[in-house]
Amino acid sequence: MCFFHLSERAIARHEVREIEQRHTMDGTKDVVLDESDDVVIIYNRVPKTASTSFTNIAYDLCGKNKYHVLHINTTKNNPVMSLQDQVRFVKNVTSWKEMKPGFYHGHVAFLDFTKFGGKKKPIYINVIRDPIERLVSYYYFLRFGDDYRPGLRRRKQGDKKTFDECVSFAGSDCAAEKLWLQIPFFCGHNSECWNVGSRWALEQAKYNLINEYLLVGVTEELEDFIMMLEAALPRFFRGAAELYRTGKKSHLRKTSEKKPPTKESIAKLQQSDIWKMENEFYEFALEQFQFIRAHAVREKDGELYLLAQNFFYEKIYPKMN
């Protein structure tokens, strides 16, 4: 079984079980994990960046590669946790040995584990998208849903107004402020992260992307992102690239009734300082991703292939007899 629903109730049950175990007369031995199993990946997924497509791969592989997948389901999809929930979450991720190796995913802002005295930090990964394309996708998703759960009634269902019409009438759902999402997701749980248009938040998001994330891909080049993850973390992603190319689930979720915006609508949004900052962050992430990819793969006859190990050791002393 590799799917677990990580809700407040589940956390409470886990904490109760820990207390019961401590008070058992004969006790239980601690779970001893191999180093390769004492690993946790957190994918704090940004909405409408192909996150469901990527997460489906983790679900498809977890049984074969023997790891656990846990969905972080926050109330009303609030990406900011209360302080007490932050403590609970860090405790579970670091000490829940039965759930290791683990792949956690959910719409949650970056959380700095070092603030809580954790002994071992998780591996963060993420995917981001062109900010206007992400907003347009989300706009239509709220109205028409997708082919993942077509029967589910969405919040704006029944509203037939196109994105272009929304922009022309200066509607709230297509306002530039709605672009402010990828920066705060990477910035984290500080109040300034959610101050729309904050230059400090942008710089903090860049810092975290470089220093706290193993790899951040882009929606437009998702296959390359998956291929590099498989090379770097085969314990989790062995077989992921082939599954993405041939599997049906990986391409499952597509927003229905989406109409590309006109050049006029795009130009209007691009006048905003908020778009300029979100786009600066996106371009920063894209450049970093392409830099990593350039040092990891090569193209031959139209196909990408991973470079073999390109370092070795020499002059090893003292000499072995």
C-alpha 13 chain-centroid distance: 26
Q: Which of these is catalytic: 23, 71, 105, 189?
A: 105
* Residue 107 annotated as catalytic: yes
How far apart CA 117 and CA 168 sit, in angstroms, is: 50
Distance of CA 201 to the CA centre of its chain: 18
Active site residue 14: no
Cα(91)–Cα(87) distance, integer angstroms:
6
Distance CA 122, CA 115 (A): 13
Out of 71, 107, 189, 295, the active site residue is 107
- What letter would DSSP give residue 192? G
The pairs formed by 110-118 with CB atoms below 8 angstroms and a separation of 24 or more are 110/44, 110/185, 110/186, 110/187, 110/188, 110/189, 110/208, 110/212, 111/44, 111/81, 111/86, 111/188, 111/189, 112/188, 112/189, 112/212, 116/86, 116/87, 116/90, 116/91, 118/90, 118/93, 118/94
DSSP 4-54: EEE-HHHHHHHHHHHHHHHT-SS--PPPPPPTTTS-EEEE-PPTTSSHHHH
Any idea which residues carry the catalytic annotation?
105, 107
